[in-house]
Amino acid sequence: MTRAEMAALRQDEQRAAAAVVGVSDVRFLGHPDGMVVANRELRRDISRVIRQVRPERVLAQSPERNLEFVFASHPDHLATGEAALDAVYPDARNPFAHPELLNEEDLEPWTVPELWIMGPGAQQAGVAVDTTDTVERKVAALMCHKSQLPDPDAVAQRVQDWASPGSPGGVPPSSSGLSASPESTMSAGDPWLLVQHATFEGPGAIAGAITGTGADLAVVRTDRGDAVPEPAAVADIAGLVVMGGPMSVQDDLDWLADERALLRAAVEAGRPVLGVCLGAQQLAAALGAPVTEGPAPEYGIGEVHLTTAALDDPVFGPAPSPLPCVHWHGDTFGLPEGAVRLAGNAAYENQAFRVGDRAYGLQFHLEVTSSLVAHWGPHLPPGVFLRESDVAHVGRAGVGVVRRFVGLGGNAPAG
């Protein structure tokens, strides 16, 4: 069989597999098998499809090599993942990227609201989709790729085993580290509770730090209509994390007041509390401090300087100063009564604070991972670009801070 004949056969198999799972629109970009490169041409071709389809969500292969199972990291897949991320941000939404798409093909720019990345393992994922009821269709679709399956029965069994609960590829029985409804986990011992306000502002490294201790993580998604738990819920959690978002403390959203009540109750109960960006502003407001518009927006890679008081802090004490971070805010907060200022910079005096022994507010982001920043990409302010090397630098410094904060939950007071 010639290479051209094999390509035609593989396309027929792909169409058959797509039909099994209900997909009728399959597009082939024509890049040769085994020779795919994440170059301008591939980025343009993917951007073209994004502008044509204008999807609400793009699902892409992770560009990161899985060293624990290298056979899952084919170079073609890695290159496609890298190009897809670049196409989502910045190419597809940028009118000056691949100008021929606009000038010659009349394809207007499109900003993809959601980017989902298929990671190397469930424990690193920020979202889990339960495929229990559809795994048989997955296997049936996989069986359509006959030219690539010398032993179909063995492959089918491997997929079934891999996708079973508790396996490396399946949803862990506790849903640790994965987005879940609070009702599914809050009754199982003392989970951590995390409130997420926007699809693209997930927990990043915070999820791994929590689940790495063996604790469960329950995620409340206000962006999906989840209700913020009542203040009494703090009796049944190990700690509380409140993430950032594009909204303001002053916005007319009912759940903002409910969230402040929950934060205040968690602080009063002595639970570890972490507010990030909007979460820090909410924490400050919950404890009676003012939250106001800042002198100027602060965006992109930057740093903060730790205060003298931070040197003895159990979370920030071992951290470097200046501490690299990512800024993405326009508002600022005053310090609650009795709070300890931990960090600031020339733009904003108050960048981090602690109340009591366990409640922390961080105006900046340390929880960054490559996957999280990829989700941020389409939503970053115009002209803001986060280089992968800078993100990695912030992540290396930030992961220690995050882990030390989570470690405060190890000696939480009895409910």
The model's pLDDT over 223-278, given as tens digits with 9 standing for 90+, comes to 999 999 999 999 999 999 999 999 999 999 999 999 999 999 999 999 999 999 99
Helices within 240-363 (DSSP H only): 254-268, 278-286
Instruction: Quote the CA–CA distance of 341 and 355 in Å, as a whole number.
Output: 9
| CATH topology for the 182-410 domain | Rossmann fold (3.40.50)
pLDDT, average across residues 143-148: 88
Tokens read off for 216: 């469960």
Q: Is 345 helix (H, G, I), strand (E, B) or coil?
A: coil
Q: Could you write out the DSSP letters of every residue in 104-116?
A: TT-------SEEE
pTM tops 0.95: no
pLDDT, average across residues 338-344: 97
Instruction: Quote the CA–CA distance of 129 and 180 in Å, as a whole number.
Output: 10
The model's pLDDT over 11-56, given as tens digits with 9 standing for 90+, comes to 999 999 888 888 889 999 999 888 999 999 999 999 999 999 999 8
* Superfamily name and number for 22-121: LmbE-like (3.40.50.10320)
pLDDT, average across residues 120-134: 61
- According to DSSP, residue 352 is labeled E
Q: Could you write out the DSSP letters of every residue in 54-92?
A: --SEEEEE--S--TTSGGG--HHHHHHHHHHHHIIIIIT
The model's pLDDT over 151-194, given as tens digits with 9 standing for 90+, comes to 877 777 767 666 655 444 444 443 333 333 333 333 334 899 99
Please check whether the two domains, 22-121 and 182-410, share a CATH topology: yes
Bridge partner list, 305: 344
Instruction: Quote the CA–CA distance of 106 and 239 in Å, as a whole number.
Output: 51
Residue 215 or 350, more confident: 350
Sign of CA dihedral 394, 397, 400, 402: negative
- Does residue 101 register a pLDDT over 60? yes
Q: Are 267 and 354 in contact (CB under 8 A)?
A: no
The model's pLDDT over 216-231, given as tens digits with 9 standing for 90+, comes to 899 999 999 999 999 9
Domain boundaries, the chain: 22-121, 182-410
Task: Count the residues in the chain.
Answer: 415
